[in-house]
Amino acid sequence: MAYYGELNRLPSLLVVEDEFLIAHDLRRILTNAGYDVLGLVASVQEAKERMAQRIPDIVLLDILLIGPETGIDLAEWLKEQAIPFVFLSANLSNELLEAAKRTQPFGFLTKPFREKDVLTTLELARYRHAHSEEAKLRQQQAIQIAVNNAIVTIQDRDQLCLAIAQQINQLVPFSFLNLRIGLPDESSFYWLMLEKTSENTFVRINPTALLPSQTDGQMLDKLDREAPDRLGEQSGIFVGEDFQQLCEHYITARSCRDHFQVQSLMLFPIELKRNSRTTIIVSSTSLEGFTPKEYQAVSLITPQIALALDNLLAYEELEARRQLKAIELTIVNAFRNGSDVRSVLAQVAGSINERMPVDLVALYRVGPAPETVSVTSMAQKEAGVFVTVTEQELGQRHGLQPADWQQSLSDMPYWLMKPTLCVGSQFTDGPSGNAVSDLYQKLGLPSVMYVPIFIKDQAMASLVLASRAPYAFTYKDLSTLQDISVQMGMALENLLAFERIKTLSEQLELEKTYLTEEIKTSHNFEEIIGSSSALQAVFTNISQVARTDATVLILGETGTGKELVARAIHNRSTRQGRTVVKVNCAALPAQLIESELFGHERGSFTGATEKRIGKFELANGGTLFLDEIGELPLELQAKLLRAIQEREIERLGGKGPIKIDTRIIAATNRNLQQEVAQGRFRSDLYYRLAVFPIVVPPLRERPEDIRPLSMHFLRRLSKKLGKPLTSIANTSLQQLLTYDWPGNIRELEHVLERAAILSPTATLELAEPLRTSPLSGVPVFSSPSAEQVQPIEKTMRTAILAALAKSGNRIRGNGGAAELLNLKPTTLEARMKKLNISGYTKPTNS
């Protein structure tokens, strides 16, 4: 229908005839018929000048024109410009007729003309031209559909570029094709160059081969995110002088000329939906170059190329999002199902490899993490599968000395704290100063990128990807890796939290049980009371040793407050945030002490129905207080020594040693040196315990502390008993000050508590006079002379006999020998039997 309208509209004409009469006769005929005659010209030059002002619909052209160019020459030009023409001729030779036919005219008019012949020939020319344009349009549409079908569904960049080259090759012969895609929003740039072979196939050329060797290395490093020049902003055909001027301004055009003998090229800028600078460059080594018709032919299919590129970029974006979600899902599932970071990393590496091909994935610890979890791990691709490797194995494979490897690892944490991309010549030509890239360069992995992994706004680890390809990663890949690191951070946080909960759950449960039991036990007092010089010396020792992890041995008579000294040391140490676990070595049967200290596995002995964590594990990170260490059975002393020296224990029935970090504080009222001499205490354990001995002075050596201690107990008793106790009678206070206190502070507390119960007034008075102890004046932990040293059995025998004499040979009851010696009656009886002491009064049955 469109062409029907055009046929009804008479066209405009230009007459090119050098015979004046014939030209004017033609104008008369055409004007009378209603045609628009643009003018009469007599030469080729005049015709081109007239058509530069307005293009006619049809040209009437004399084959034989006077001048340097004939009608045949003008016909060739009209054919290139797609302007229809009709030849005017007289008698033609066969040779001239064949030349005229090759120009594909729309008709011939033979001189002299008849009006009917002129009008009929023009109508036929109009019809043929209209239908030839329609056929041409159908051909163009067919080409566009074919190109669209060939490339629009391709979802791989290299394959798409190859398909584009094949389609253009069907329209225009060329030597090289370049496709550039710049995405400024993603800081990425893609450049592919294809060369046509003699077999009419295409091979890929690395674009870096275009750039001369003397080019600044930074240009090579920028190829992943921007073009080397602004050649893509040009358009049109560049041949001859135009091409040479183009080479003067653009390095890639000049390199094509110098390295690949390119003589001409066509530039086609392509507009995409995304913010993209996309260009197709078609070049040829032919001197003749390209024609406007060829440029127009390629331009016809650029809309289909743009559509295919839009589809490709949209697919890549969706695929990148899908792969990122797949990686995140893999991370979640791996860390949920796996309990070991090394096995988890291999699964994560395989998933990342689908998004961006890598040869090694590593996870380095750069911040604090629980010691129970090893964060540093590496996974390397072997035969297409990722397997975990150790740092030592990787270093040995590449001939790195252990010292060099360790030095590189020690320098890496500083660099791993910042997202970094390491690709390009500056990382392959020599040391870069970056410890990470330098190390991986030694491992044959020139492309490296890494990002820190944050947990609660603190860098805890760094995720590293490495590849054997020199330009394997882009800044878009680095951005993707940062997205992955967020999921890795959450997964690691959950894993570390789970591991920490798993490690501490039993310990916390036991601490709760232990502390519940401790709350039920009332301590002598809440703080050390006193300001005597003897006690000040103890304070000095506490402040000196508290901040260290040295083993402390507290010596002193019974009731002097050795446990309070141990707690004071712990509360002033770096372990004060953890609990003090107490074990009374004299209160447990010998057969249970080992299980109490070291724990046991289920079924390790009869009655072991469940696993039990020992006091050493319970006190891990804190302090273990071993009270009455002198009572520890000899067979357990060797195990205790090993636990202290090696900082590891083994449960009863356990399968291997367990590392511990427990500080040991021991206490005893025995003379361990004498115990060692008698063979009842291991000398090596004694010297290991007595790294820093502290002697707690007895109360009789610091009488100035009796008054403040008494008032402290008085306030406690007043609150405990609900009685208003405000002071102590002078006579009673004098007795307290002159008494030798063989039971020390514990005895003082008990004496005051009994008096408080019996006191009828606010002024406390002692219930009965204090009796002088036969043991007064004999300090257990003074430094006796060599002449005073005697066997322990003789000393014990003397003390028991003195107590029996004072008690009237009574063992039990108030004032009995057991009370005087602060021993249980059964214990005293057993020791008397062992020492062959008799003559005491046995209890009577009532």
Of 636, 744, 761, 641, which is closest to residue 696 (Cα–Cα)?
Answer: 744
Mean pLDDT of the chain: 79
841 or 822: which carries more pLDDT confidence? Answer: 822
Asked if the bond preceding 112 is cis, omega within 30° of 0, the reply is: yes
What pLDDT shows up at residue 668?
92
CB 202 within 8 Å of CB 195:
yes
How does pLDDT run across 736-761, given as a tens digit for each residue? 888 889 888 888 888 888 888 888 88
5 or 477: which carries more pLDDT confidence? Answer: 477
What pLDDT shows up at residue 153?
76
How does pLDDT run across 491-527, given as a tens digit for each residue? 777 777 776 666 666 666 666 665 555 544 433 334 6
CB 699 within 8 Å of CB 741:
yes
Lowest mean pLDDT among 43-52, 483-492, 790-799: 790-799
pLDDT greater than 50 at residue 428: no
What pLDDT shows up at residue 579?
80
608 or 175: which carries more pLDDT confidence? Answer: 175
How buried is 262 (Cβ within 10 angstroms: 0-12 exposed, 13-18 middle, 19+ buried)?
Answer: buried
What pLDDT shows up at residue 837?
79
Strands 727-728 and 763-764: parallel
How does pLDDT run across 597-626, given as a tens digit for each residue? 888 787 677 666 677 788 888 888 889 999
pLDDT greater than 60 at residue 675: yes
3-state SS, residue 291: coil
What pLDDT shows up at residue 244?
92
Give me the percent of the chain exceeding a pLDDT of 90.
Answer: 6
DSSP per position, 150-215: HHTT---HHHHHHHHHHHHHHHS--SEEEEEEEEGGGTEEEEEEEEE-TTS-EEEE-GGGGS-TTS
CB 374 within 8 Å of CB 360:
no
User: Which pLDDT band, with edges at 50, 70 and 90, does 284 fall under?
Assistant: very high
Long-range contacts of 146-152 (CB under 8 A, 24+ apart): 147/301, 147/304, 147/305, 148/304, 148/307, 148/308, 151/304, 151/305, 151/308, 152/304, 152/307, 152/308, 152/311
Q: Which two tokens stand for residue 678?
A: 């008698």
CA 776 to each of CA 102, 652, 700, 707: distance values in angstroms, whole numbers, following the listed order: 142, 45, 8, 19
Strands 36-41 and 12-16: parallel
What pLDDT shows up at residue 748?
87
* Residue 596 half-sphere exposure toward CB, CA atoms < 13 A: 18
Mean pLDDT over 19-25 rounds to 87
* 711 Cα distance to chain centroid: 61
Rg (the chain; Cα; Å):
52
Q: Which residue has the tokens 């025998």?
A: 797
Lowest mean pLDDT among 220-229, 261-270, 779-788: 779-788
Mean pLDDT over 630-657 rounds to 84
In whole angstroms, give the CA distance from residue 721 to residue 752. 12
Instruction: List helix spans (H) across 521-532.
Output: none
DSSP per position, 448-459: EEEEEEEETTEE
What pLDDT shows up at residue 7?
44
The values of phi and psi at residue 45, to 5°, are: -60, -45
3-state SS, residue 12: strand
Lowest mean pLDDT among 154-158, 641-645, 840-844: 840-844
Strands 58-62 and 85-89: parallel
What pLDDT shows up at residue 831?
84
3-state SS, residue 434: coil
CB 328 within 8 Å of CB 487:
yes
How does pLDDT run across 140-168, given as a tens digit for each residue? 566 667 677 767 778 788 888 888 888 88
In whole angstroms, give the CA distance from residue 265 to residue 282. 5
What pLDDT shows up at residue 839?
53
Instruction: List helix spans (H) across 357-459.
Output: 391-397, 402-415, 435-442
**Apex CA 528: angle with CA 522 and CA 533, to 5°?**
155
425 or 523: which carries more pLDDT confidence? Answer: 425
- DSSP character for 111? S
Strands 727-728 and 599-600: unpaired
- DSSP character for 773? P
772 or 634: which carries more pLDDT confidence? Answer: 634
292-337 and 115-151 helices, crossing angle to 10°: 20
Partner residues linked to 728 by β-bridges: 764
In whole angstroms, give the CA distance from residue 228 to residue 210. 10
29 or 472: which carries more pLDDT confidence? Answer: 29
In whole angstroms, give the CA distance from residue 690 to residue 551. 7
3-state SS track over 533-581: HHHHHHHHHHHHHHCCCCCEEEECCCCCCHHHHHHHHHHCCCCCCCCEE
How does pLDDT run across 364-409, given as a tens digit for each residue? 877 765 555 567 788 888 888 888 887 777 777 777 776 776 777 7
What pLDDT shows up at residue 519?
47
In whole angstroms, give the CA distance from residue 240 to residue 262. 11
DSSP per position, 24-44: HHHHHHHHHTT-EEEEEE-SH
How buried is 30 (Cβ within 10 angstroms: 0-12 exposed, 13-18 middle, 19+ buried)?
Answer: buried
What pLDDT shows up at residue 372?
52
